[in-house]
Amino acid sequence: MSELRKRRRSDGRARTYRNARRIGWLFSVLVTIAVLCLVFFIWLAPLGIVDQSMAPALNSGEVVLCDRISKFVRVPERGDIVLFSTDDGLFIKRIVGLPGESVEIVSGHVFINSIPLDESSYSVNYVGDLSPVLVPEGSVFVLGDNREEMYDSRVASVGCIPFDHIEGILRLRVSPFSRITYFS
Rounded Cα distance, 89 and 86, in Å: 5
Residue from 2, 6, 10, 53 carrying the catalytic annotation: 53
Is 107 part of the annotated catalytic residue set?
A: no
Residue from 2, 10, 93, 157 carrying the catalytic annotation: 93
Is 6 part of the annotated catalytic residue set?
A: no
Rounded Cα distance, 61 and 101, in Å: 34
- Contact by Cβ (8 Å): 144, 127: no
- Contact by Cβ (8 Å): 64, 173: yes
How far apart, in Å, do the first and last CA atoms of the chain sit?
73
- Contact by Cβ (8 Å): 166, 77: no
- Residues catalogued as catalytic: 53, 93
